[in-house]
């Protein structure tokens, strides 16, 4: 039976943290803030309502892509499984809401974004490659996921700088 998925629109409240588990799986977590907006008829204006915060968990390639693409304050759309956890700490009860993300993307109703497809090289056997080609491939495989995330973040900043200068023609 299928699980129920939720979609939450909000802003990244923290920088995504990328880690690798003992089994080698990438995992990224960040906090997502969302605030309801209400129209105040008496004041004839929009006002902020209650804010909710969710911890978003992304795994494997989604984790690496989120770490390379998302910055604090950026508007996001997150879709995933909602998990509500209850715990006690020092006699106080806490309830937290986590989202196991299936997809994460920028909210394009509030800005522009540029997509870059991640191309993963297929591993070749040593007999199929010339000897000189094995060294750069080995060096690329040794690159830490955090370094890849930093490189992706630098590319994202460059894209955002270019998007800020973008002038759109009317339809």
Each residue's pLDDT tens digit, 35-66: 998 898 999 999 999 999 999 999 999 999 99
Task: Tell me how many degrees the CA angle 7-36-12 measures, rounded to the nearest 5.
Answer: 60
Residue 84 in any domain: the answer is: yes
In a domain, 101, yes or no: yes
- CATH number of the CATH domain containing 158: 2.40.50.140
Specify if 1 maps to a domain.
no
39 assigned to some structural domain: yes
Residue 97 lies in a domain: yes
State the residue range of the domain holding 18. 6-164
pTM of the predicted model as reported, rounded to 2 decimal places: 0.66
Is 131 among the domain residues? Answer: yes
Q: pLDDT tens digits for the chain (171 residues)?
A: 578 899 999 999 999 999 999 999 999 999 999 999 889 899 999 999 999 999 999 999 999 999 999 999 999 999 999 999 998 989 999 999 999 999 999 999 999 998 888 887 777 655 555 554 444 444 444 444 455 455 555 554 544 444 444 444 443
The domain total for the chain is 1
Q: What is the 3-class SS of 8-43, one letter each residue?
A: EEEEECCCCEEEECCCCCEEEEEEEEEEEEEEECCC
Assess if residue 171 is contained within a domain: no
Distance CA 43, CA 32 (A): 29
């Amino acid at each position: 039976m299928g699980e129920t998925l939720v979609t939450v629109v909000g802003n990244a409240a923290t920088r995504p943290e990328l880690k690798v588990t003992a089994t080698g799986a990438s995992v990224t977590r960040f906090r997502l803030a969302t605030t309801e907006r209400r129209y105040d008829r008496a004041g004839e204006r929009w006002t902020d309502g209650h804010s909710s915060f969710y911890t978003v968990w992304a795994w494997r390639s989604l984790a690496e892509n989120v770490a390379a693409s998302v910055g604090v304050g950026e508007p996001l759309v997150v879709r995933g499984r909602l998990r509500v956890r209850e715990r006690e700490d020092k006699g106080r009860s806490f309830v937290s809401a986590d989202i196991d993300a299936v997809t994460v993307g920028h909210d394009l109703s509030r800005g522009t974004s540029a997509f870059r497809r991640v191309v993963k090289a297929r591993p070749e056997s040593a007999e199929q490659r010339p000897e000189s080609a094995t060294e750069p491939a080995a060096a690329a495989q040794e690159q830490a996921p955090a370094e890849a995330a930093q490189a992706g973040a630098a590319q994202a900043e460059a894209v955002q700088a270019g998007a800020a200068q973008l002038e759109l023609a009317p339809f």
